[in-house]
Structure 1
Amino acid sequence: MAPSRQNDREARQARERLRAYQARQTVHERKLQRRRRDNWIAGIATVVIVALAVATQLLYFSAGPGAAKASSSASPSATPSSSPTPSPAATGANSGNVPSKTIAGDRTWSGTLTINGIPLAVSLDGKAAPQAVSSTIALTQKKFYDGLSCHRLTTDGIWVLQCGDPEGDGSGGPGYSYGPVENAPANGTYPAGTLAMARQPNNGYSQGSQFFIVYKDSPIPSDPAGGYTVIGRVTSGLDKLVSTVADKGVQGGGTDGKPAVSTRIDSFTLQ
């Protein structure tokens, strides 16, 4: 009998060890399943986030950054890329009485762009973007910009304030349009403080009076016409503009539209 009881005890112990092993195996399998599920969810979330970021950029710039709609022709000390992309091959033509690109004089112009009483010191590179800077100079000399609104603010993925449209809705211009794109960053990143020209998508000859101020580093995709003409930069005052206008957001709580704070150019001078 003693051997039988010993055998029974050993059998029970073996069954208990088996049950313990099976329990641990079940727990392990559940952990693996949760890990696989969590990894799958994380992967899907990553794809969605990337897709939304790309879609945000493409959606904004499919309307042009500025766009300039079809009826129309970004630290404060940051500078545009030192390796600009070359102007694409000309595929369009200037329209209207475009100011001569010799006005810029192949030199740097300094001045003040005052918005909502905030003086922004600016520097324009007439050598890197002679046509766009010449147009801007000519318009400031006529006081074209004085009193115009900044009609568009974006606050997600791309951070810009767009100004310079006499119609106040993205459809207006100075009565002429010009191109091609000049001095666009080679890496597609527009640093905070950048001043760049708005245009229609896929049309390098649709630049006019509308421009945008980049108030936070922004990756902006190019299209067949190239990137966006960088005319210069804001050298001081950007932080004040951000705190009083950009940080207040967009009307209605969206991420792309009229600034919640009514925004207007008081004056724009260059010398």
Structure 2
Amino acid sequence: MPSNEQRRETAKRKLERQLENRAERARKRKQMTIAYSAAGVVAVVAVVAGLVWFTNRDDNSTDNTAADTSTSEQSAGVMPAGRSTPLADTVSCSYPTDGGAASKPNNPPRTEGVPTTAPDATPSISIETTQGNIGLNLDGTLSPCTVNSFVSLAEQGYFNDTSCHRLVTGSGLQILQCGDPTGTGTGGPGYGFANEFPTDQYSESDPALTSAVTYPRGTIAMANSGAPGSNGSQFFLVYGDSQLPPNYTVFGTIDETGIATIEKVAAGGDDGSMSAGGGKPNTPIDIKTVRID
């Protein structure tokens, strides 16, 4: 039989093991608590950052801008596949003056009998730039009033000899923005018009309007200031899947030659000069002419 001394030694070793195990469990609980707390902080920061990108705009600014929402990339939803209900064969459009002077002389587009079916509503556009050609296929079956305005301005030479003033190369927003004769992001044609697809596929109170959806690579969309009816002449060309609230009117697609031209410019980066994200392209790109094919 074990002696009292042996029993005491066995009991001592058992107690030491118990204390060591208890300390190890406490250490692991502390590590897990720190890890969960850190994850919670990161999640809160990401949500706040995303909201700041969506809402931190000067309501008095005329800068027509697609906000950088790259922090919301993981939660982006899916762009509606198309209109829930087809439009009538023709629609009426409204282009009221926006209270500012036109950055370049132009006449407002027609307002009646605007087509919504091919081929009249789906013209092909050739943009000649200093960095290469960009082909566009406009889609008036989705956004007829937007296509009507773009074609009207193109036919008047409004976009000729203008610069693409903003480039964004973030992982969640990859765009080249053009259409402002002043090259500052504040110019326009002197009139405005309402958002169309995909904005009009949501009710005005739908919370999805403040959530990000993916604007696919190759999309053409209108820039705006965030205020109703603030579309004008500025548009952006999406060269990589981008996350934005569905408040920017989609009105066509870019061909692969155009994507290659934009990617060449994007490879040079931007100067980071714009508070909403991105800046002027380090590789300047100017629009020489815009032709309706």
What TM bracket, shorter-length normalisation?
A: 0.7 to 0.9
| Structure 2 residue corresponding to 1:66, chosen from 64, 67, 73 | 64
Q: What is the letter of the counterpart of residue 83 of structure 1?
A: G
1:84-123 aligned within 5 A = 84=83, 94-95=96-97, 97-101=107-111, 105-106=115-116, 107-123=121-137
1:162 corresponds to: 177
In the alignment, structure 1 residue 9 sits paired with structure 2 residue 6: yes
2:269 corresponds to: 249
In the alignment, structure 1 residue 29 sits paired with structure 2 residue 29: no
Shift of 1:54: 4.0
CA distance in 2, matches of 1:181, 1:85: 16
Q: 1:151 to 1:85 in 2, by over 3 A?
A: farther
In the alignment, structure 1 residue 261 sits paired with structure 2 residue 263: no
Task: String of CA shifts for 1:201-245, please: whole Å, max 9, x gaps.
Answer: 122x222211111122222125xxxx2221211022244234311
Length-normalised TM-score, structure 2: 0.73
2:233 corresponds to: 209
Task: String of CA shifts for 1:65-96, please: whole Å, max 9, x gaps.
Answer: 8339xxxxxxxxxxx74334899xxxx96117
Length-normalised TM-score, structure 1: 0.79
CA distance in 1, matches of 2:224, 2:39: 38
Supply the RMSD in Å over aligned alpha carbons.
3.0
- Runs (5+) with no aligned partner, structure 2: 67-78, 88-93, 99-106, 202-207
Percent of aligned pairs with the same amino acid: 30
Shift of 1:151: 0.8
Comparing 51-60 and 165-174, the one that deviates more: 51-60
Q: What is the letter of the counterpart of residue 112 of structure 1?
A: S
Shift of 1:27: 1.5
Shift of 1:189: 2.8
Other structure's SS at 2:236 match: strand
CA distance in 1, matches of 2:64, 2:174: 12
Q: 1:50 to 1:166 in 2, by over 3 A?
A: same
- Runs (5+) with no aligned partner, structure 1: 69-79
CA distance in 2, matches of 1:61, 1:127: 33
Q: 1:81 to 1:267 in 2, by over 3 A?
A: farther
| Structure 2 residue corresponding to 1:43, chosen from 22, 26, 40 | 40
Other structure's SS at 2:3 match: helix
CA distance in 1, matches of 2:230, 2:46: 32
- Alignment check: 8 A CA contact 1:65 1:198 kept: no
